[in-house]
């Protein structure tokens, strides 16, 4: 079954948040492979098969989970990049962030974000939120045409 | 001889004029000093009415600034003064205007000719109807002329006209009405000088205001950046503490005794609470910065809506709600909903020791404001601390008895203040509390810097 699943891309710079999100994804029992990046620029390199990702198999991830505050390129800038490209625009993007600030929320929706999750303080709630997101974007959603299923 | 007399007369007149100019200069200096002491220059100008009037040898003076009109001494009615100023604006007399026969020039001037047949006016702003006016009363004079200036012409039978030398030089009397004593050039010049000085002050004030507003914008930007950073960075560690503590609690390999689990629970609860504090503080700061969207609000419907939600949460409690029809008001719907949510939530919370809670909500439309109140029969509070109630993170009850972060009423006060209204409370320990807030009839969005 794993061969039919596209990976989940997680962009998070904070190591604790990264670990907790990975545990939450695991607890949510998502079978997708999770590829992690620590800043916005790395994530875009991956998407565009540039730099060290030059030789990766083409295809878009199932979903991109983005923190807003990131080194180099922020989550909003990554979102803007994705939104500006007709091919990448099809990738579901989710903001997974600390910020309750309204301007971030507004800007994210302007840039075509599919969901916006303010990380709750409670870990149990966070697991639940990730579960719902994962269930919706990684498993139930039909992959948009053009995304190649990995088979090995 | 005659020549010598003429020279002497001229010299006398020049000296008188010179002395008057000196006197007027000292008036201007004194008035400017008084104005400089006040934040609102008009207050300085009207502080010593005698100076202001004596300056132009007038019996009345009016100072118009923004929407206000201050009348000093003997003046036309305020309405007439505004009409006169409107007429000046229409005529394009925007710098200086003077007349010693006002009733003959200005429409409806007859109405106040006794008090103001003469006027000297200077405008003190190009943008607003801002004027200083001096008035002089009508001086009815009987002037004796050496002859009738309209020479009586006798018609001759021949058809030609003839002027009779004797009759032409008969003493001719005329009563002059609608006139005041004339304005002297020195007075007019001094008024112009005063005008320049006042405009200078107005300009300086405007510059100071612009500077202040730039400063304010800068500090608001800083505040925004600060709260943005708090929102992102301060919440994260609390989230980590809770996350890892919960993981430790669930861990199958950790060997935790019953006491250890309690320690973990305390850690989790405290971190949770700290996270809530951060969130509440952020919402408090957002309320201070958010724009107010003023529109008409049906308060009765709004309270009913908030009550419905509150009742859903408190199904097990016996609460009697007495809600009167409430006067409508203007304000920001989202913000006023938050006000009622906080007040109703408090009423429910602090009555929970009562078998039967009673909550009364009333409203009263007054001339300038609308006052709303919510009264409960709960634990109340000591009136001595009533002002502390509305402070940020101020609490009058122990955390074990009544939970909360102490931000609710601070939000209420801030929202009402931003609408230009007031908040206050009455209470007695164990005998209930009553919270009031007022909203002005006309809302002017208030900037918040508290």
The alpha-carbon gap from A18 to the nearest alpha carbon of chain B, in Å, equals 10
Distance, in Å, from the CA atom of B366 to the CA atom of B440, rounded to the nearest integer, reads: 9
Give me the number of domains chain A comprises: 1
Q: Say if the Cβ atoms of A123 and B235 lie within 8 Å.
A: no
Distance, in Å, from the CA atom of A7 to the CA atom of A82, rounded to the nearest integer, reads: 17
Distance, in Å, from the CA atom of B178 to the CA atom of B103, rounded to the nearest integer, reads: 6
Range of the domain at B301: 291-450
Range 267-306 of B in CB contact (< 8 A) with A: 271-272, 275-276, 279, 282-283, 286
Tell whether B299 and B426 lie within a shared domain.
Answer: yes
Give me the number of domains chain B comprises: 2
Distance, in Å, from the CA atom of B345 to the CA atom of B266, rounded to the nearest integer, reads: 26
Phi, then psi, of B280 in degrees rounded to 5: -65, -40
Distance, in Å, from the CA atom of B319 to the CA atom of B342, rounded to the nearest integer, reads: 17
Q: Say if the Cβ atoms of A68 and B232 lie within 8 Å.
A: yes
Of the segments B91-105, B117-131, B368-382, which one has the largest average pLDDT value?
Answer: B368-382
Q: Say if the Cβ atoms of A123 and B247 lie within 8 Å.
A: yes
pLDDT over 90 at B69, yes or no: no
Residue A144 in domain: no
Residue A145 in domain: no
Helix (H, G, I), strand (E, B) or coil at B438: strand
By the 8 A CB rule, do B100 and B84 touch? no
Distance, in Å, from the CA atom of B63 to the CA atom of B124, rounded to the nearest integer, reads: 10
Nearest-CB residue to B239 (from A23, A69, A119): A119
pLDDT over 70 at A140, yes or no: no
| Interface confidence (ipTM) of the complex | 0.80
pLDDT over 50 at B39, yes or no: yes
| Structural Rg of chain B based on CA atoms | 37
Q: Considering only alpha carbons, which residue of chain B is nearest residue A120?
A: B239
pLDDT over 50 at A151, yes or no: no
Distance, in Å, from the CA atom of A97 to the CA atom of A113, rounded to the nearest integer, reads: 13
Mean pLDDT score across all residues of chain A: 83
* CB-count burial class (<10 Å; 0-12, 13-18, 19+) for A6: buried
pLDDT tens track for B134-191: 999 988 777 776 666 666 566 666 666 666 665 656 666 667 788 888 898 888 888 8
Judge whether B226 is closer than 8 Å to chain A, CB to CB: no
Binning pLDDT at 50, 70 and 90, where does residue B247 land?
very high
Tell whether B170 and B311 lie within a shared domain.
Answer: no
Residue B391 in domain: yes
pLDDT at A52: 86
Lowest mean pLDDT among A107-116, A130-139, B418-427: A130-139
pLDDT at B297: 93
* CB-count burial class (<10 Å; 0-12, 13-18, 19+) for B381: buried
Q: Nearest CA to A138 among A66, A47, A32?
A: A32
* CB-count burial class (<10 Å; 0-12, 13-18, 19+) for B293: exposed
Residue B328 belongs to a domain with what CATH number?
Answer: 3.30.565.10
Distance, in Å, from the CA atom of B118 to the CA atom of B446, rounded to the nearest integer, reads: 43
pLDDT tens track for B252-307: 888 888 888 899 999 999 998 888 888 888 888 888 878 888 999 999 999 999 99
pLDDT tens track for B407-433: 889 999 999 999 999 999 999 998 999
pLDDT at B292: 87
pLDDT at B169: 63
Range of the domain at A39: 2-139
Q: Nearest CA to A119 among A95, A102, A97?
A: A97
Q: Nearest CA to A25 among A147, A152, A139?
A: A139
Residue B311 in domain: yes
Distance, in Å, from the CA atom of B273 to the CA atom of B395, rounded to the nearest integer, reads: 15
By the 8 A CB rule, do A15 and A38 touch? no
Residue A86 belongs to a domain with what CATH number?
Answer: 3.40.50.2300
Helix (H, G, I), strand (E, B) or coil at B94: coil
Distance, in Å, from the CA atom of B421 to the CA atom of B179, rounded to the nearest integer, reads: 51
Q: Say if the Cβ atoms of B243 and A126 lie within 8 Å.
A: yes
pLDDT at B159: 63
* Residue B82 Cα distances to B64, B66, B90, B111, B135, angstroms: 9, 12, 12, 14, 14
Tell whether B296 and B419 lie within a shared domain.
Answer: yes
Contacts of B22 (CB under 8 A, 6+ apart): none
By the 8 A CB rule, do B66 and B42 touch? no
pLDDT at B253: 84
Q: How many CB atoms lie within 10 A of CB A74?
A: 18
Distance, in Å, from the CA atom of B176 to the CA atom of B105, rounded to the nearest integer, reads: 15
Beta strands in B333-376 (DSSP E): 357-365, 369-376
Residue A148 in domain: no
């Amino acid at each position: 079954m794993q061969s039919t699943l596209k990976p989940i891309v997680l962009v998070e710079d904070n190591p604790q948040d990264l670990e907790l999100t990975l545990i939450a994804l695991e607890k949510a029992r998502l079978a997708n492979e999770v590829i992690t990046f620590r800043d916005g620029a790395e994530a875009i390199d991956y998407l565009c098969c540039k730099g060290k990702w030059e030789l990766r198999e083409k295809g878009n991830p199932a979903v991109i989970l983005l923190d807003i505050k990131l080194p180099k390129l922020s989550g909003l800038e990554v979102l803007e990049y994705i939104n500006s490209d007709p091919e990448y625009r099809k990738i579901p993007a989710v903001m997974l962030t600390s910020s309750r600030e309204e301007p971030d929320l507004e800007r994210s929706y302007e840039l075509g974000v599919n969901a916006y999750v303010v990380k709750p303080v409670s870990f149990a709630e966070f697991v639940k939120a990730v579960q719902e997101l994962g269930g919706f974007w990684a498993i139930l959603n039909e992959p948009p045409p053009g995304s190649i299923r990995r088979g090995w | 001889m005659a020549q010598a007399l003429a020279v002497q007369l001229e010299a006398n007149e020049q000296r008188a004029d010179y002395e008057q100019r000196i006197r007027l200069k000292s008036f201007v200096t004194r008035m400017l000093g008084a104005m400089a002491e006040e934040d609102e220059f008009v207050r300085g100008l009207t502080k010593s009415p005698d100076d202001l009037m004596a300056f132009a040898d007038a019996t009345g003076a009016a100072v118009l600034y923004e929407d206000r009109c201050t009348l000093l001494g003997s003046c036309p009615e305020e309405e007439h003064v505004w009409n006169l100023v409107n007429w000046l604006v229409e005529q394009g007399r925007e710098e200086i205007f003077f007349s010693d026969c006002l009733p003959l020039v200005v429409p409806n001037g007859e109405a106040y000719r006794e008090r103001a047949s003469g006027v000297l006016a200077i405008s003190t702003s190009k943008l607003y109807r801002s004027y200083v006016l001096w008035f002089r009363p009508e001086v009815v004079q009987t002037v004796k002329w050496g002859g009738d200036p309209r020479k009586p012409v006798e018609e001759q039978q021949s058809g030609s006209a003839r002027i009779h030398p004797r009759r032409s030089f008969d003493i001719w009397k005329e009563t002059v009405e609608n006139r005041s004593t004339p304005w002297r050039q020195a007075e007019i010049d001094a008024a112009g000088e005063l005008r320049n000085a006042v405009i200078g002050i107005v300009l300086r004030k405007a510059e100071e205001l612009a500077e202040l507003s730039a400063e304010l914008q800068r500090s608001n930007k800083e505040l925004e950046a600060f709260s943005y950073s708090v929102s992102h960075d301060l919440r994260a560690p609390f989230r980590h503490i809770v996350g890892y503590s919960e993981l430790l609690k669930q861990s199958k390999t950790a060997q935790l005794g019953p006491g250890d689990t309690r320690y973990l629970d305390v850690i989790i609860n405290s971190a949770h609470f700290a996270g809530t504090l951060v969130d509440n503080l952020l919402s408090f700061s957002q309320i201070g910065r958010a724009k107010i969207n003023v529109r008409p609000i049906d308060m009765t419907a709004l309270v009913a809506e908030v009550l419905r939600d509150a009742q859903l949460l408190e199904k097990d409690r016996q609460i009697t709600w007495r809600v009167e029809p409430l006067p409508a008001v203007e304000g920001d719907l989202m913000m006023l909903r938050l006000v009622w949510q906080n007040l109703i939530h408090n009423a429910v919370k602090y009555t929970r020791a009562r078998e039967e809670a009673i909550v009364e909500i009333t409203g009263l439309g007054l001339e300038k404001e609308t006052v709303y109140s919510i009264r409960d029969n709960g634990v109340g509070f000591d009136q001595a601390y009533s002002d502390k109630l509305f402070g940020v993170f101020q609490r009058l009850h122990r955390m074990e008895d009544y939970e909360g972060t102490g931000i609710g009423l601070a939000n209420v006060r801030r929202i009402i203040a931003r609408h230009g209204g007031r908040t206050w409370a009455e209470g007695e320990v164990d005998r209930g509390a009553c919270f009031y807030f007022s909203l002005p009839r006309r809302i002017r969005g208030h900037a918040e810097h508290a």
